[in-house]
């Protein structure tokens, strides 16, 4: 964080000094958790609710989980009635990112899957 914003967050557990080496913009958060933990966090915080997956399904492996989520979100996109003012363009972008996350998980790259879901989450916040 830059010095101006760091002043207001003295109890923030992360680094409060600007990172001259990394050249990161103020407010950037680096996530050092294992990709499985990041994926689980996405599932718990928004993906299961948005895609309608059951939490029991989360034990079946990330390629299956992300495949089911992508399928469910694609079906939602293709429904005639989009519900309460849901932005079809945004949902289409979320479906694309969920599809990329699924493909990455199938290829065994859970870091890429987690990155794609992070972008999907940012998009989904626009609903
Ligand atoms: Zn700042």
pLDDT digits (tens, 9 = 90+) for 42-86: 999 999 999 999 989 998 999 999 999 999 999 999 985 555 667
The pLDDT value given to residue 82: 55
Residue 104 sits in the same domain as residue 47: yes
Whose tokens are 């680094």? That residue is 15
Residue 53 sits in the same domain as residue 71: yes
Report the separation in Å between the CA atom of 5 and the middle of ligand 1, taken as the mean of its atom positions.
5
Return residues with CB closer than 5 A to ligand 1 (ion).
Answer: 2, 5, 26
What is the CA angle 68-73-70, rounded to 5? Answer: 40
Domain span including residue 16: 1-30
Report the separation in Å between the CA atom of 3 and the middle of ligand 1, taken as the mean of its atom positions.
7
Residue 82 sits in the same domain as residue 117: yes
Report the separation in Å between the CA atom of 69 and the middle of ligand 1, taken as the mean of its atom positions.
36
Q: What is the pTM of this model?
A: 0.79
Residue 47 sits in the same domain as residue 81: yes
Tell me how many domains the chain contains. 2
Rounded mean pLDDT, 29-48: 92
Distance CA 42, CA 118 (A): 8
Report the separation in Å between the CA atom of 28 and the middle of ligand 1, taken as the mean of its atom positions.
10
Residue 6 sits in the same domain as residue 38: no
Half-sphere exposure of 116 (CA within 13 A, CB side): 20
Output the six-digit token pair for 123. 């998009």
Report the separation in Å between the CA atom of 37 and the middle of ligand 1, taken as the mean of its atom positions.
28
Residue 98 sits in the same domain as residue 50: yes
């Amino acid at each position: 964080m830059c010095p101006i914003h760091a002043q207001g967050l003295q109890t923030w557990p992360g680094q409060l000094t600007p990172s001259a080496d990394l050249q990161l913009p103020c407010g950037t958060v680096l996530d050092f958790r294992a990709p499985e933990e990041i994926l689980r966090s996405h599932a718990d915080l928004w993906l299961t609710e948005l895609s309608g997956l059951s939490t029991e399904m989360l034990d079946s492996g990330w390629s299956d989980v992300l495949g089911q989520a992508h399928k469910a979100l694609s079906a939602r996109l293709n429904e005639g009635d989009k519900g309460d003012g849901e932005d079809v363009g945004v949902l289409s972008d979320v479906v694309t990112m969920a599809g990329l996350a699924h493909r990455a998980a199938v290829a065994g790259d859970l870091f890429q899957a987690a990155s794609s879901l992070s972008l999907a989450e940012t998009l989904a916040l626009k609903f």
